[in-house]
Amino acid sequence: MSLTLPIRRGLRPLLPILLVALSLLSPPGPGLAQQVHPGKAPPERVPAVMVGDRLVNVAWHLGVVPAAMSVRGDLWAFGRTLANTSSMILGCPGYIVMKDPEIVPRTLRTQGIKTVLVEHSAPFDRTKPQRDPMRLLPVLEQAGVAEELGTQVTVIDFTGHIDDAIRQVGVALNRETAAEALIAERAAALETVSARLPLAGPRLRVLVLDGTVQGATGKAFVRAHLPGGYTDDFLLTPLGAENATAAPGLKGKHGFAPVPRLDVLAEWQPDVIVMTGDADAVQRKLAEALARNPDMGTSVPALANHALLALPAYYDSAVIDYPQILGRWAAAFTSLRGG
């Protein structure tokens, strides 16, 4: 729907073996690599500000990138790639309202941009509810950009079915035909992977560890994906698996809990360990824990069975790529069962 303001709502011996196995698992990057099609034109850069991960993801798949954007760069790796290659990053949706509320109006004025597309999702961010793109609307109204610049603000509604949101983006970007093709392609991909789920066999207890290597110091940090978050709802539950991070008293924040020492694996006893983000950070922490406690090589099922996987995380940002990411997880888990 639309409304105009002008806003339109639209084991010791085993230890060396384990360490070698760990060293082979690091992916080329922290996120899902976008497909490359030789001969295909690059996305068109349009004079617009886009606010919201899902919105920018859909636009990219329709062949469009914005001149400037506000996305959750801390969670969405490809958003950071866009920020370093094609689109000015204005900060996350929380930053542009709470830290620098002048940045969007200032960008509109200095860049001569008259189009703003804002994502409406419920919720937009489970980990940090305060960074909601819709909070930008009163900021723009107070700044008077509609009257001063003739700025048109269009709200893209992601609260309903994803297909409707894709269509709204298609209309806003004059990509209606491409939007219908994208809807069909995504639906077919999701149907294909969903037909194989949940996976057969015993319910696996999965520990999902997110790694970060600090650029300035090279230090490694690891945090666990807590139960009840994006990983559970979009990946583990469809697979028929459960989150193994269930230690009483574990202090978490924004959907994660820091795990400075992986000796806790002896207590958690995961069947599978999935590494997201910088897998080498997790590998280093695992190597340190195994050096201190070599018996974990046989006592922890995931280590005894070499059930360690490096996979892309999913935070409901790359909505178009979700079937591909879920398929990656399904294929990896199937391989553990010898499938």
Domain-terminating residue out of 150, 169, 193: 193
Tell me whether strands 220-225 and 256-258 are parallel, antiparallel or unpaired: antiparallel
Domain-terminating residue out of 125, 158, 193: 193
Same domain, 84 and 217: no
Kindly report, residue by residue over 275-328, the tens digit of the pLDDT.
999 999 999 999 999 999 999 999 999 999 999 999 999 999 999 999 999 999
Tell me whether strands 220-225 and 205-213 are parallel, antiparallel or unpaired: antiparallel
Number of structural domains found in the chain: 2
Kindly report, residue by residue over 212-248, the tens digit of the pLDDT.
999 899 999 999 999 989 999 999 999 999 999 865 5
Residue 313 is assigned to a structural domain of this protein = yes
Same domain, 42 and 188: yes
Residue 89 is assigned to a structural domain of this protein = yes
Domain-terminating residue out of 164, 193, 222: 193
Residue 5 is assigned to a structural domain of this protein = no
- pLDDT confidence band for 252 (50 / 70 / 90): low
Rg of the chain in Å (alpha carbons): 22
Cα–Cα dist 71/316, whole Å: 12
Query: What pTM did the predictor assign?
Result: 0.87
Same domain, 45 and 187: yes
Higher pLDDT, 107 or 13: 107
Same domain, 48 and 140: yes
**pLDDT value for 247:** 57
Same domain, 308 and 241: yes
Same domain, 141 and 207: no
Tell me the residue range of the domain where 65 lies.
Answer: 34-193
Which residues fall within 8 angstroms of residue 178, CB to CB, at 6 or more apart?
A: 62, 63, 170
In this structure, what CATH number is given to the domain that contains residue 95? 3.40.50.1980
Same domain, 186 and 280: no
CB 156 within 8 A of CB 10: yes
